[in-house]
Amino acid sequence: MISLKDVSKKFKTKLGTIIAVDDVNLDIKQGEIFGIIGYSGAGKSTMIRLLNGLEKPTAGQIIVNGKEITSINEEKLRQVRHKVSMIFQHFNLLWSRTVAENIAFPLEIAGVPKEQRLARVNELIELVGLEGRGNYYPSQLSGGQKQRVGIARALANRPEVLLCDEATSALDPETTDAILDLLVSINEKLGLTIVLITHEMQVIQKICNRVAVMEGGRVVEEGDVLEVFQNPQQPITKRFVSQVSEPTQTMQTIQNLLDIYPNGKLIKLTFVGEQTEQPILSRLIKQFELEVNIVQGNISHTKSGAFGTLILQIDGDALAVDEAIRFIHEQKVSTEVINND
Ligand SMILES: Nc1ncnc2c1ncn2[C@@H]1O[C@H](COP(=O)(O)OP(=O)(O)OP(=O)(O)O)[C@@H](O)[C@H]1O
């Protein structure tokens, strides 16, 4: 559906050249929800602007729905843009227009006759759950309702791709969940491809099929969400995953335990699927004469399945501790020793 081949984007500034996107290769499949995650300055916004043709790459090719958008003329680019729609963190609504008039706006620009426009607007109002709000002004709506208007407006001309630019970052956690559920239902009902950029791993965990992690303009890791959660490779990915699986209090407890018991070992186990059903902990305690302390346990649900993490503190004879870790490893449970660094 969308392919990026060796794409780079450089900006020339007074302070020198900034490489916002650095040699990126990506393939986003039709009908999937694809997440791009990174901290501020990683290059996410530039990526999304490249995908809708608002920026031209300095090098490389971008193919959207079979069309190479890097070299086509303005007229053809407009046609492609018609199929690629966008929603924004701050909604970008027209404040002097009602909900219905906001949703109708792209239809007016596309020259859709009034009667069809009205019918389409009503359909969209129902789709996004804003029945009865058509005559409200944006100032009379909650944040979540404003984003629903943004989504309805983005869908008006039946796009094939929806780009979401930090679409839930201005919303509280409950409203975020409701908007993410709406995006999933739209993706399923309409078969729409969704590409979202975010700095929140919860968003990726909840709705994405696949994820790309960006750092310094590069895609440093990419894969199925469940796999990336289970087995993050890069330090930055590990940090993002721990946003979800290890609350801040746990990190504090871990630090305290490392300080109090410098001799014991803290290990993190990651389970997936049927591994979660094995009595590994009781076997460990029966087989080894060690002190085993549960620091934290957690189960995270992703779109393609659940995985669990368990942080244990094991103390006792150093050789027995190493053997116990080997034992856990043999049960095909991913094991990581947490060090004081
Ligand atoms: N038009 C521009 N001119 C010069 N530099 C730019 C321009 N747009 C982006 N940059 C620079 O490119 C880098 C990547 O920026 P980008 O906005 O894409 O990152 P981001 O991950 O979206 O971060 P944020 O969430 O803070 O917007 C930054 O160093 C930024 O300052």
For the ranges 44-53, 142-151, 298-307, 314-323, the lowest mean pLDDT is seen at 298-307
List the residue whose alpha carbon is closest to atom 7 of ligand 1.
11
The confidence band for 274, taking pLDDT boundaries of 50, 70 and 90, is low
Q: Are residues 220 and 268 in the same domain?
A: no
Q: Is the pLDDT of residue 247 over 70?
A: no
Domain span holding position 274: 246-338
CATH of the domain at 265: 3.30.70.260
State the pTM of this model: 0.85
Within 10 angstroms of residue 238's Cβ, the number of other Cβ atoms is 13
Q: What is the mean pLDDT of the chain?
A: 90
207 vs 252 pLDDT, higher one = 207
Q: Are residues 58 and 188 in the same domain?
A: yes
Tokens at 114, concatenated:
């009034």
CA distances, 86 to each of 12, 80, 81, 284 (Å): 27, 13, 10, 52
Distance 201 CA to ligand 1 centre (A): 20
Q: Is residue 117 part of a domain?
A: yes
**Of 327, 305, 325, 307, which Cα lies nearest the Cα of 315?**
325
Per-position DSSP letters for 171-207, written without gaps between them: S-HHHHHHHHHHHHHHHHHH--EEEEEES-HHHHHHH
Distance CA 222, CA 231 (A): 12
List the residue whose alpha carbon is closest to atom 3 of ligand 1.
11
For the ranges 77-86, 218-227, 243-252, the lowest mean pLDDT is seen at 243-252
Whether the CB-CB separation of 91 and 145 falls below 8 Å is answered with no
Q: Is residue 162 part of a domain?
A: yes
Q: Are residues 13 and 143 in the same domain?
A: yes
Tokens at 177, concatenated:
């969940």
SS3 call for 7: strand
Mean pLDDT throughout 145-161?
96
Is the minimum distance from the CB of 43 to ligand 1 under 6 angstroms? yes
Is the minimum distance from the CB of 41 to ligand 1 under 6 angstroms? yes
Distance CA 311, CA 266 (A): 7
Distance 86 CA to ligand 1 centre (A): 18
Rg (CA), the chain: 24
Q: Are residues 199 and 333 in the same domain?
A: no
Q: Is residue 238 part of a domain?
A: no
339 vs 335 pLDDT, higher one = 335
pLDDT for the residue 248: 66
Is the minimum distance from the CB of 44 to ligand 1 under 6 angstroms? yes
Question: Which run of H or of E encompasses 248?
Answer: helix 248-260
SS3 call for 20: strand
Is the minimum distance from the CB of 15 to ligand 1 under 6 angstroms? no
Q: Which atom of ligand 1 is nearest to the CA of 13?
A: 4
Cα angle: 195, vertex 199, 204; to 5 degrees: 50
Q: Are residues 195 and 267 in the same domain?
A: no
Tokens at 251, concatenated:
């990190």
Is the minimum distance from the CB of 20 to ligand 1 under 6 angstroms? yes
Is the minimum distance from the CB of 285 to ligand 1 under 6 angstroms? no
Q: Are residues 115 and 137 in the same domain?
A: yes
The confidence band for 166, taking pLDDT boundaries of 50, 70 and 90, is very high
Q: Are residues 14 and 55 in the same domain?
A: yes
Whether the CB-CB separation of 264 and 186 falls below 8 Å is answered with no
Q: Are residues 190 and 254 in the same domain?
A: no
Pocket test for ligand 1, best of 24, 46, 86 (most atoms within 8 A of CB): 46
The confidence band for 136, taking pLDDT boundaries of 50, 70 and 90, is very high
Q: Are residues 210 and 297 in the same domain?
A: no
Distance 115 CA to ligand 1 centre (A): 42
List the residue whose alpha carbon is closest to atom 4 of ligand 1.
11
Is the minimum distance from the CB of 206 to ligand 1 under 6 angstroms? no
pLDDT for the residue 276: 60
Pocket test for ligand 1, best of 45, 52, 164 (most atoms within 8 A of CB): 45
List the residue whose alpha carbon is closest to atom 11 of ligand 1.
20
Distance 12 CA to ligand 1 centre (A): 12
Among 183, 200, 232, where does a domain finish?
232
Q: Are residues 299 and 187 in the same domain?
A: no
Whether the CB-CB separation of 1 and 193 falls below 8 Å is answered with yes
Is the minimum distance from the CB of 337 to ligand 1 under 6 angstroms? no
**Phi–psi pair at 258, nearest 5 degrees:** -65, -35
Q: Please give the tally of structural domains in the chain.
A: 2
List the residue whose alpha carbon is closest to atom 6 of ligand 1.
11
Q: Are residues 133 and 10 in the same domain?
A: yes
Mean pLDDT throughout 95-100?
96
pLDDT for the residue 199: 95
List the residue whose alpha carbon is closest to atom 13 of ligand 1.
20
Q: Is the pLDDT of residue 341 over 60?
A: no
**Distant-in-sequence, close-in-space partners of 282: CB < 8 Å, separation ≥ 6:** none
- Per-residue pLDDT tens over the stretch 190-228: 999 999 999 999 999 999 999 999 999 999 999 999 889
Q: Which atom of ligand 1 is nearest to the CA of 21?
A: 14
Mean pLDDT throughout 124-140?
97
Q: Which atom of ligand 1 is nearest to the CA of 47?
A: 18
Mean pLDDT throughout 219-238?
92
Q: Is residue 241 part of a domain?
A: no
SS3 call for 65: coil
The confidence band for 260, taking pLDDT boundaries of 50, 70 and 90, is confident
